[in-house]
A and B are shown apart, each in its own frame.
Chain A
Amino acid sequence: MRSAAAADALLEVHGLEAWYGESHVLHGVDFAVAAGEVATLLGRNGAGKTTTLKSIMGILPERRGTITFAGRAIIDLPAYRIARLGIAYCPEDRGVFASLTVEENLMLPPVIAPGGMPVDQIYDLFPNLLEHRMSQGTKLSGGEQQMLAIARILRTGARLLLLDEPTEGLAPVIVQQIGAAIVRLKQAGFTILLVEQNFRFAATVADRHYVVEHGRIVDMIPNERLEAETNKLHEYLGV
């Protein structure tokens, strides 16, 4: 699966294995994401998508393999060093802090490089957040918390965004809003690795899709072939 993207890859993952204690969860994950593209990890619940993101971010203690970001091997670095190289993470549970206001949540991640999105543009992208600036972070609705979780990693100057199921459990209107935001982020030059179970949503924003099954990448489908391979994908995802 070291495909066309490998040539100008910003992120390259090769032979990635990971464990939770005794249980071996990733069995050699291989894929690459080119600078400026949106790639997805599609797969059923429990396939290993979240574990893959956590391994890249360095917040999983037991992992092995090669992860290269912008030409640097990062697998042996602690999470805070990986973040400072320019990778930002939006976790599946959103991770909005209850003891911080919306604005404090937004301003929390430190700027690691110049060229992050200015705060007024972020509020422009997610106007709901401006309205509730002073409320407690967790008082926001689920959709707004998701927006906040994405919004706060745009300021920092990180180039690669890892988004874990940003549409999970949200109303269609909100899903649309988040989709539009992702498209705008791509236009703004961000590289995005998106975890999804909803491939219809993924099709509207992504350039390529990697299918994850039992801790491996089993297929790569460019977005333009997605239509043709719908049946195959249904099988992979069990829908």
Chain B
Amino acid sequence: MLGWLHIAVPPAPALFGQLLIGLINGAFYAMLSLGLAVIFGLLNIINFAHGAQYMLGAFCAYLVLNYLGIGYWPSLLIAPIVVGAFGMLLERFFIRWIYRLDHLYGLLLTFGMALIIQGVFRQYYGSAGQPYSIPDLLAGGQDLGFMFLPNYRAWVIAASSVCCFGTWFVIERTRLGAYLRAATENPTLVQAFGINVPRMVTLTYGFGVALAALAGVLAAPIYQVSPLMGSNLIIVVFAVVVIGGMGSILGAIVGGFALGIIEGLTKVFYPEASSTAIFVIMVVVLLVKPAGLFGRTV
């Protein structure tokens, strides 16, 4: 009995350490799946380029630092704007033409875009990661007694939470969000009320992409900057979106953080399953609740 306890209950620092890693991963899952949910809701497009756009955000920060000497803090603004604008061009000139077609076409188109974008960066930077250092202001950490909390990680969790909550608030509680929800249901009628829906669609796509780029900048000091950094992550993020419910804002946020934590805990208690835990949960959720945990079945 005692022996069993000894194996099953890990020392507190290890537990909290994994919890923290889970929370950090969850912060990225949440921001990325949120962008996917917003885009899917209005555009009906499964944006497979999302991982590449996240990578573009990180590279944007890396490039402006190395070529222009612009540091981390301005990059938090510059990367989302630049990459978001790039996203709007993609929407305006490519994605717009396939809204009437089956989901499959959107998936193929955006997947193709992801391959092209990643291919270009691999051509120039190879697959190895480029280092990006933590801003001075956030170097070091706090000793909480039961664990050591690096300042940068605390900042990532806080920043992601604020972005997620802010997005949720705008969509669910403001007039702008009401336009978005209404256009998700019936774009034609919203257009007949005098709202320029095509422009709103472009801006929404740009916003989702900007959110991915922001996540990329936040990730740069933690995961290094590499052309494939997004393609590894995006598979898990799609599982999160499916679990939370396709297009559900709350599902994306709650699901992102929760699954990050669950994944972290799995690493402590049953490390062998840590990379598959999320997919097992996805299968179970799909069997029990095909629309996802927060999915609306109107």
Residues of chain A having any CB pair with chain B under 8 Å = 57-59, 78-80, 82-84, 88-89, 91, 95, 97-100, 104, 107-110, 112, 153, 156
Contacts and interface: CB of A to CB of B under 8 A. Distances in A.
A100 B194 contact: no
Contact of A107 (B178, B188, B195, B196): B178
Given A95-B189, A100-B182, A107 B194 contact: no
B191 A78 contact: yes
Contacts of B159: none
Contact of B182 (A57, A82, A108): A108
Contact of A80 (B181, B182, B186, B197): B197
Nearest to A149: B189
Contact of B181 (A88, A97, A107, A112): A97
Contacts of A110: 193-195
Interface of B: 175, 178-179, 181-182, 184-186, 188-197, 296, 298
Given A79-B188, A91-B189, A107-B175, A99 B194 contact: no
Contacts of A79: 188, 191-192
Majority SS at the chain A contact face:
loop
B191 A80 contact: yes
B175 A109 contact: no
Given A98-B185, A99-B184, A108 B178 contact: yes
A83 B185 contact: no
Contact of B193 (A98, A99, A104, A109): A109
B175 A83 contact: no
A105 B49 CA distance: 34
Contacts of A156: 193-194
B195 A95 contact: no
A104 B178 contact: yes
B185 A97 contact: yes
Contacts of B181: 97, 99-100
A231 B175 CA distance: 51
A38 B298 CA distance: 36
B195 A100 contact: no
Candidate in B188, B194, B195, B197 with the most chain A CB atoms within 10 angstroms: B194
B297 to A, nearest CB: 11
Given A80-B197, A100-B178, A107-B178, A95 B191 contact: no
